[in-house]
Chain A
Amino acid sequence: MIPSALFRPAPLFSIAAALRLTLLVYGIWQDANSALKYTDIDYLVFTDASRLLAKGQSPYDRDTYRYTPLLAWLLLPTAGPSSSILFSFGKVVFALADLLAGWLLLRMLQARRGMTLERSGAFAALWLWNPMVATISTRGSSEGLLGVLTTALLWAVERRRNWLAGVILGLGVHFKIYPFIYAPAIVWWMDAEHTGCVALQNKRASVKDRLLYFITLARVELAVTSLATFMLLNILMYSMYGHPFLLHTYLHHVTRIDHRHNFSAYNTLLYLNSAADPSSSSSSSSWHAESLAFLPQLLLACLLIPLAIAKKDLATSMLAQTFAFVTFNKVCTSQYFLWYMVFLPLYLPSSSLLRNPRLGISALLLWVGTQGAWLQQGYQLEFLGKSTFFPGLWLSSLAFFATNCWILGIIISDGASDKSAAPTQ
């Protein structure tokens, strides 16, 4: 086993940084010496957009740039030639974001009752030493930034820094939309007990009084700062880049029909229905369940899970919400898994997946196995040209979906159970 001294902060972060540095240098070497690039295609999209910015153009002049201009701004130092050392600047930023997210995780773990430095370090290592996380950011995918935004959001809320939490929430939603699901959980969590105000004692208070008591200072602060941040950023970006900003950052994600095969349970149905002749809508194949897909997804992620768990364990609620959001989404690729993986170190210490190793190992095997089955079918399609859409890919995506629902059920049960996972005051 790994000696526990390695989980002390200095070695913990040194190893995490060394891992990323090694991958970064290796990536530069591979890019320079092999026709097969280490750098992610998305990174070339970001840096192309930054180069356009540097020339005074709009980042949306680059096809498939579907992000906030903030990202292109952030990566402006990469605008030089791709042989320059500064070209890797963005990857360094993403890797640093990983480390910062890991540091926030560590701080939040330590704030929990009875957790030693080594033990919290070991859980933080699930993120910091995770090769998948390190690879994704050093290849230049921006998902690491989401990791730091969501952990910082949770950290700010737990620290009662409501203004900061609001700013981060607004920024996160501006950046990638999906963090809006955390707003109801945080608002629900910010009750009198959690924010240290006087609790509403009178059980017989009128509805009006209850509503008035619901409006706490913390909730107002969060609402105002998050909305203000979100709107200010949007107004700024809209004034600079106009309609293309709205189109590519937001509207594209609402109207897109992602027909290319991905992990989503809806994928095959989306392909089938997108190809259906609109003039023969009465045909037997038109089962438009996917048009209602947002209902279970948003009900779970924005309403039911926060209501049931947020007050008991905000971190687990955010994990379960993200898990539900990704599982029930119409599009699902492996980088979305990072969105919930960042919360795992906070959930696992009190999880039945660890308490009951058989349960934990079964969940892990099923999650990996159904994904592997899908990947095998996807490989047959993508590289061998075999028509595995039906039944292979379809069935494996449904099996992966069912596995995720089962794991989500476990997380919900754990989150709602009466154990103290809340941070000490």
Chain B
Amino acid sequence: MRERVTFFHPTDTGVLPENLKRDKEGLAAPVFETTREDRFTLGLDELPAEVASVLDGFSSLHVAWNSPVAYRTLEPFAARLSPGLHVLFDPAVAGTFDKSDLCSLLQVFSPRDCSVGEAISTTITGPEGSPQPKQFFQPLEELSNFAKWLSSEVCGAEDDACQSRAQRLLSAAGLDITYDAASKTVKVSAFWPLKKQPVSVPFSPHRRTEVGILTLGNPPNLAPDHVGVSGILTTLGEKKQPSPALFAFPARHKLSDSYFSTAFLTPTGLHPTLQLSLSGSQPPKEDAECKLYAYLTLPKTIFADRFQLDGELFMASKNLTALRATSLPVDLEAPAYTTGAWGSSILLELAPPTSAANQAWTAEVPLHLRYLKPSETGLKSIEIPYPAVFWACSAEQGPEFSQNPFDRAHVGYDTLFESDTVFWHVEPRPEQGDRLVNTISVPVLNEHGSALIGVGTSMVVALGFGWVLWKLYSAVAQNGYQATSKADEEKKKR
């Protein structure tokens, strides 16, 4: 097992080398404003046996979680996802995937009943039709269940350091777990956002722990699409003093200087419109070809009709260019309670105003609610996570993003673009409060009517049927059923 702890801080803060305390306990420094990423690299044999056996069912597996609580970040930790738990995977043997593997995996993050056999994944289809991993999503407020699982199944009961690190996950803003059958390793990264926090990295004799305290720098001859970094690197437990470092790497994810918020237009009705309000309309780079996208992750309670998101005039009227990708299957009619798939995701290209001046603007995404189960109040509140909004720009000369030690691939939308695309992320800001979710109150049937609806419908139908039967009976009794002429004859005979 290897461990890497990286602090990235703004250029105007930092730690003076003399304040850095290194001893056999580990490394410590006073509180300062910084981001933090902890990354563990494990071999399959270092995992609990049941986890390793579940991983056997996958040829690749990527779990990514982002907190619904708004947070600030710095490059190179620029990538954004819709808040919640995203799972992307390829089964080890195509077509013979056991859903219970996915379900038992998800149990680590939140309790669920695997006997019901839900957790049905979807596949997004890109414009090129290139093979895409299967995807699954579920809203997840925090990592408490995962932390609990770590502390009881992974950490020993007496291992206080491990226990406290598991607890620290409760304040994390992001988590990435990636597994690749080819490399037989699992990488687990947790991310803490930009805020004042103490520097404290415990030393463990069981693993090598590298620590970096870094800030963005500008080394000479910085190549385009690269990020320059300077600071100090050290390895815990070694006698060597921290060494200064200055290096650069190509970055797939960058921060644009604009931000956005989303809200549903009122009244929402059964066909709510999600409005994206963006602070700027100008691409982050002038010399590259850039397009603006929104990647929506929609729980099964709400969906976009891919057939509706078509037609130049209609799309233009919403400040949209086109629907570029959509996950399948998406049932366009079924109620949420009979829908198997977890939900759906779509990639929309937005159409910012083309005027030269940078201006605030909005785009509207028409969506549709599914019917939900009846409730006590006749209303049910649902939460829809913020989308990821980013400019996708073509890079100048095919950069090798894998050289980036902080690269974050497999975020769901990256595989829908050329491999040399740079994503400039627009910062999500809550409309109000601090959560990156929109809430809709969905009208549903009021449970109080249940008994009356059953009896009442049956009675009215029976009465209506009875009335028609009576009219039929009296008509036949009066006039018979034969055609007129014949009926007349019969009357004469009598």
Q: Which residues of A are interface residues toward B (Cβ below 8 A)?
A: 32-35, 37, 41, 44-45, 48, 63-64, 193-194, 257, 259-260, 265-266, 268-269, 271-272, 274-275, 284-287, 289-290, 293, 296, 300, 304-305, 307-309, 311-312, 324, 327-328, 381-391, 394, 398, 401-402, 404-406, 408-409, 412-413, 415-420, 422
Contacts and interface: CB of A to CB of B under 8 A. Distances in A.
B467 to A, nearest CB: 5
Given A259-B371, A398-B460, A418 B484 contact: yes
A422 B307 contact: no
Contact of B486 (A193, A285, A382): A193
Q: Is the interface of A mostly helix, strand, loop or mixed?
A: helix
B269 A390 contact: no
Interface string B442-463: 1111111111111111101101
Contacts of B458: 287, 289
Nearest to A383: B269
6 contacts: A35-B317, A268-B445, A272-B450, A286-B454, A312-B481, A388-B443
A289 B461 contact: yes
Nearest to A285: B450
A309 B487 CA distance: 13
Interface residues of B, number: 67
Contacts of B311: 37
B333 A312 contact: no
Contacts of B482: 311-312
A334 to B, nearest CB: 18
A382 B464 contact: no
Interface stretch (B10-18, B197-205, B215-223, B372-380): B372-380
A265 B373 contact: no
Given A308-B472, A381-B269, 13 more contacts: A35-B313, A48-B307, A194-B483, A259-B371, A269-B457, A300-B468, A311-B481, A385-B269, A387-B446, A389-B378, A390-B448, A401-B464, A405-B467
Given A300-B468, A418-B484, A382 B460 contact: no
A64 B441 CA distance: 28
A342 to B, nearest CB: 21
A349 to B, nearest CB: 16
Contacts of A312: 479, 481-484
B453 A275 contact: no
A41 B445 contact: no
A406 to B, nearest CB: 7
B132 to A, nearest CB: 19
Nearest to A194: B483
Contact of A389 (B307, B337, B441, B446): B446
Nearest to B460: A398
B270 interface: yes
Given A308-B472, A416-B475, A416-B479, A385 B453 contact: no
10 closest A-B pairs by CB: A287-B454, A416-B475, A387-B378, A390-B449, A35-B317, A405-B464, A285-B450, A387-B443, A409-B471, A289-B458
Contacts of A406: 467
A216 to B, nearest CB: 15
Contacts of A296: 461, 465
